[in-house]
Amino acid sequence: MALSGLFLVVFLGQHFTINLASVVSKDSFNELSHFMGNNPLVQFILQPILIFGVVFHFVMGFILELQNRSARANKYGSYKGSANASWMSRNMILSGVVVLSFLGLHFYDFWVPEMNYKYIEVLPEDPTRYYEELVHKFVSPVRVGLYVVSFFFLALHLLHGFGSSFQSMGLNNKYTPAIKTFTKIFAIAIPAGFVFIALFHHFNAL
Amino acid sequence: MNLTLKVWRQANTTTKGNFETYSIEDVSPDMSFLEMMDVLNEELIQKGIDPIAFDHDCREGICGMCSMFINGEAHGPDRLVTTCQLHMRKFKDGDTIIIEPFRAKAFPVVKDLAVDRSAFDRVQHAGGFISVNTSGNTQDANAIPIEKHDADRAFDAATCIGCGACVATCKNASAMLFVSAKVSQYALLPQGKVEATDRVLNMVKQMDEEGFGNCTNTGACEVECPKGISLENIARMNREYLTASIKG
């Protein structure tokens, strides 16, 4: 879980960098998206690894949740979880399910049309199409609302999960306070950045 | 103080339990929680009711026998104390106190508030020791120089009394804090390094077989531990386990 989680965190940072380019420069975003969508290394090696990482992370998450629930078959009449642990750490499965649902929407919005464009309909490649496709998706206020809610839950998931992955890998030493601070900043800044990008394109298109 | 107690009653492991409500009057704030339970039991006996079964022994926070889940927390609302060290001054007149056994699949209820924690013994037997030849020329442990910092951390880990509060409070009923404390107290010392590989592999294997849950690093165990065992021990055990797995 820790390793796949850290791998997904690295991917998230890379995804954010490319998305941020859409706010700065239309041409840069098109160029980067065209590279990511057509480079054989990205398409046929990194993309399958990423999909495996995502599937592994949520399947393991569900398996661990089931094992943990069965480890306490009889529930407490009174259980004060908030007295000793954060809401985020106690509800990783809830935030994870929201993020997973968002991934379904995200794949439906971007990945499925992209696969259809390139490999099913085999349309002629247009390196300038990506920016317009992105902006078009953020016209709908409902979709933007779902993005905002999803990234709020992603932030909650990262607030516990990112720092926790270092502890799971055996790293708890004098650098731990610095790691915790960095992971908190990352967990808030990156989802907030994604929300900013969605809102920027939504209001820009009005 | 006058209190209302909602206590878990269960005849044995196989029967289904339920909460029973009892009223207790004139409780002194200076009583320990177990003394209050003793008074309640005397009243129940006088009324011809079966007294409440609960574990206790030293009553000074050393033996790790007392094991009550009080108002939603292992060993009650106070920090760094066992149930026997908890005083009634932590409660207010008129309070309702909910008292339950430590709940985990690996800790079956024996009767009422007493649970079977022999799973911890089996984990300990799987590797929580060092093998020493006692044929007559055993080396004095004090003759081996050990860095003060390591000795202190090993001692801190060794203060775990195996009460099971970590399991009881963890939302996953994980025993990682207990097992990691037992692994750490040896991993930090030269005497423990000889069998380090087998120790961590065997203890973790036994822990999994007992049906404890997985650690998700909520940190609840560290907060509720009456001896303040640190999460650093879990990280150390994870390192030991990773190294041992690579070595085979």
Instruction: Please say whether the beta carbons of B89 and B179 come within 8 A.
Output: no
Residues in chain A: 206
CB < 8 Å to B242, chain A: 169-170
Residues with Cβ within 8 Å of residue A177, at least 6 apart in sequence: none
User: What pTM did the predictor assign?
Assistant: 0.94
Report in angstroms the alpha-carbon separations of A203 from A140, A143, A196, B193. 10, 13, 10, 63
- B71 in reach of chain A (CB within 8 A): yes
Q: Give the minimum alpha-carbon distance from A173 to chain B in angstroms, rounded to a whole number.
A: 8
Helix (H, G, I), strand (E, B) or coil at B19: strand
Q: Is A83 exposed, middle or buried (0-12, 13-18, 19+ CB in 10 A)?
A: middle
Per-residue pLDDT reduced to its tens digit, B69-119: 999 999 999 999 999 999 999 999 999 999 999 999 999 999 999 999 999
Find where tokens 């160029």 sit.
A31
Which class in CATH covers the domain with range B118-247?
Answer: mainly alpha
B244 sits in which H/E element: helix B232-247
A198 sits in which H/E element: helix A176-204
Distance CA A129, CA A200 (A): 19
Q: Please give the CATH number for the structural domain made up of B3-111.
A: 3.10.20.30
Residue boundaries of the structural domains of chain B: 3-111, 118-247
Distance CA B152, CA B146 (A): 10
* Portion of chain B with pLDDT greater than 90, in percent: 94
Distance CA B153, CA A115 (A): 56
> Is the pLDDT assigned to residue A50 strictly greater than 80?
yes
- Minimal Cβ distance to B71: which of A78, A84, A164: A78
Per-residue pLDDT reduced to its tens digit, B7-39: 999 999 999 999 999 999 999 999 999 999 999
> Is the pLDDT assigned to residue B248 strictly greater than 90?
no
- Minimal Cβ distance to B238: which of A70, A78, A168: A168
Helix ranges (H only) for A25-116 are 26-38, 40-41, 47-70, 87-90, 92-106, 112-115
Helix axes B176-187, B232-247, angle to 10 degrees: 70
